[in-house]
Amino acid sequence: MIDRYTLPEMGRIWSEAHKYELWCQVETLVLEAHARAGTVPADAVGPVRAAPPPTPEAVAEVEAVTEHDVIAFLTAWADNTEPRSAAAFVHYGMTSSDLLDTALAMQLAEATDLLLAKADRLVAVLRDHGLEHRETLRSGRTHGIHAEPDVWGHRVADFAFAAARSRDRIRRAREAVAVGTLSGPVGSYSNIDPAIEAEVMPALGLRAADVATQVVIRDGIAEWVSALAILATVCEAIALEVRHGQRTELRELAEPFRTGQKGSSAMPHKKNPIRSERICGLARVVRSHVTPVTEGIPLWHERDISHSSVERIALPDAAIATDYMLHLTIGLVEGLVVDAARMRANMNITHGLLYSSSVLLELVSSGLSREDAYALVQAAAMETWDTQTPFRDSLIAQGKKKGMVLDELALDRAFRAENYVARLGHVFDRLASLS
């Protein structure tokens, strides 16, 4: 992922330098376990533990010759070991995937912990924002058209619960990826005692794979990327709502606009929803990684490396982009400008049409058949669309055409937007308890 969208903490986790630190940690713990078991000399441990991790540049120099990243790492690390002979017992009984998959699991767990912390924060800011606007009336819309009165807090509550569910999926996915293996070539433990794996994995914060065929099968990693994609798409849903709300014709919502910020190089009046658009764009990037990572589940026999090239790109990019999107979305919600007066004013632009379903029910309750009531209400609504006559007046006129006198008190009940606030109390009770 490019630096523009990489936050420092997440970027460090996926850096080459940190990867080699983790590789050193895995190899050192394995060596120590071997030494305790008596399979390697105990005096090899001290020099290896003291050897600093090789630099990415040193590994790259060796890999240019070997064309094998693990061998290049082991060679460069051995160059840092005094005496160098102690390094002979590093990687004892292991195969490359033991190191690669186990260290990758550690990176995924670390990255997930950062994502979970931000996801918790997003849930909290959505919850608080929704509760703040539990009585902020606005037009609910379906197909982009005014439907019925609603409150802004209701829309936000939907996002809050979706974010919470998405966070919980990532929490479960962390368990699925925090899995390592130390089982040797083709995963048969032919050169390494299963007791080594059992001892080392808890020390790394991992659990041992139930079975490994030299690699850990990628269903857990596919689950993890899919969970990230869902969370990213929930962020996109929030951002898309803001983008719609910031359109000139609506002007109900607006991103924060800092002093000194510029919206357009040509049009000084512009205040564009750039953060929301960036979130929507990056969600596409995260989703794009789901299929190639999932295709890493089927491999040739016990192992091939067709998954490796994909994961070197997809896993860091998905984590870094999701981390950045969470950062942007939290800031978007925290700084969101909600124009409650504009929301209420926009409810009136259809001259009362968004009360049509309430009117329909009142007419049915008064004794009309649903078919007759629907025909009357629709005829009045079409008149209002065409002539801009207030919907209530159109209803009374249509009633007179049919020889009916509509109940004024029933119309009063139907045209009360506040009714919609009262009926959502249970939603906000649930929202208040969301954590």
Q: Which residues pair with 149 in a beta bridge?
A: 139
Query: Residues 371, 325: one domain?
Result: no
Query: Residues 149, 282: one domain?
Result: yes
The pLDDT of residue 197 is 97
Q: Identify the CA nearest to 241 among candidates 157, 167, 177.
A: 157
Q: Answer whether residue 430 is part of any domain.
A: no
What's the one-letter identity of residue 35? A
- Rounded Cα distance between 152 and 137, Å, is 6
The pLDDT of residue 12 is 97
The pLDDT of residue 267 is 76
The pLDDT of residue 227 is 98
Whole-number CA gyration radius for the chain = 30
CB 22 within 8 A of CB 341: no
Query: Residues 282, 393: one domain?
Result: no
Q: Identify the CA nearest to 53 among candidates 76, 84, 26, 85.
A: 76
Per-residue pLDDT in tens (0 to 9) along the chain, 435 residues? 789 999 999 999 999 999 999 999 999 999 999 999 999 999 999 999 999 999 999 999 999 999 999 999 999 999 999 999 999 999 999 999 999 999 999 999 999 999 999 999 999 999 999 999 999 999 999 999 999 999 999 999 999 999 999 999 999 999 999 999 999 999 999 999 999 999 999 999 999 999 989 899 999 999 999 999 999 999 999 999 999 999 999 999 999 877 777 766 677 776 888 999 999 999 999 999 999 999 999 999 988 898 999 999 999 999 999 999 999 999 999 999 999 999 999 999 999 999 999 999 989 988 889 999 999 999 999 999 999 999 999 999 998 888 888 888 888 888 888 887 788 889 999 999 999
Domain harbouring 179, CATH code = 1.20.200.10
Query: Residues 279, 323: one domain?
Result: yes
Q: Answer whether residue 182 is part of any domain.
A: yes
Query: Residues 312, 368: one domain?
Result: no
- Rounded Cα distance between 303 and 187, Å, is 10
Query: Residues 85, 109: one domain?
Result: no
CB 415 within 8 A of CB 355: yes
- Rounded Cα distance between 230 and 222, Å, is 12
The pLDDT of residue 264 is 65
Q: How far, CA to CA in Å, does 388 sit from each of 53, 133, 166, 192, 427?
A: 75, 30, 44, 82, 35
Question: Catalytic annotation on 433?
Answer: no
Among 36, 58, 89, which residue terminates a domain? 89
- Rounded Cα distance between 284 and 321, Å, is 10
Q: Identify the CA nearest to 7 among candidates 334, 255, 290, 316.
A: 316
Question: Catalytic annotation on 143?
Answer: yes
Catalytic residue among 85, 190, 264, 365: 264
Which residues does 225 contact at the CB level (< 8 Å), separation at least 6? 289, 290, 293, 294, 314, 315, 318
DSSP for 372-429, please give it: HHHHHHHHHHHHHHHH---HHHHHHHHHHHTT----HHHHHHHT-THHHHHTTHHHHH
Query: Residues 267, 159: one domain?
Result: yes
DSSP state of 249: T
Q: Answer whether residue 237 is part of any domain.
A: yes
| Domain count for the chain | 3
What three-state secondary structure class fits 337?
strand
| b/e per residue 107-120 (b: at least 16 CB within 10 A) | bbbbbbebbbebbb
Q: Is the dihedral of CA 242, 248, 249, 251 positive or negative?
A: positive
- Rounded Cα distance between 217 and 82, Å, is 37
Query: Residues 268, 155: one domain?
Result: yes
Asked if the peptide bond before residue 83 counts as cis, ω within 30 degrees of 0, the response is yes
Domain harbouring 39, CATH code = 1.10.275.10
Q: Identify the CA nearest to 346 among candidates 175, 137, 186, 192.
A: 137
Query: What are the respective helix, strand and coil percentages of the chain, to the nearest 5?
Result: 65, 5, 30
Among 30, 63, 89, which residue terminates a domain? 89
Give helix 391-401 / helix 356-365 axis angle, nearest 10°.
Answer: 40
Domain containing residue 367: 353-416
150-155 contacts at long range (C-beta below 8 A, 24 or more positions apart): 150/420, 151/420, 151/421, 151/424, 152/338, 152/340, 152/343, 153/129, 153/424, 153/428, 153/431, 154/130, 154/424, 154/427, 155/241
Q: Answer whether residue 421 is part of any domain.
A: no
Query: Residues 291, 196: one domain?
Result: yes
Q: Answer whether residue 431 is part of any domain.
A: no
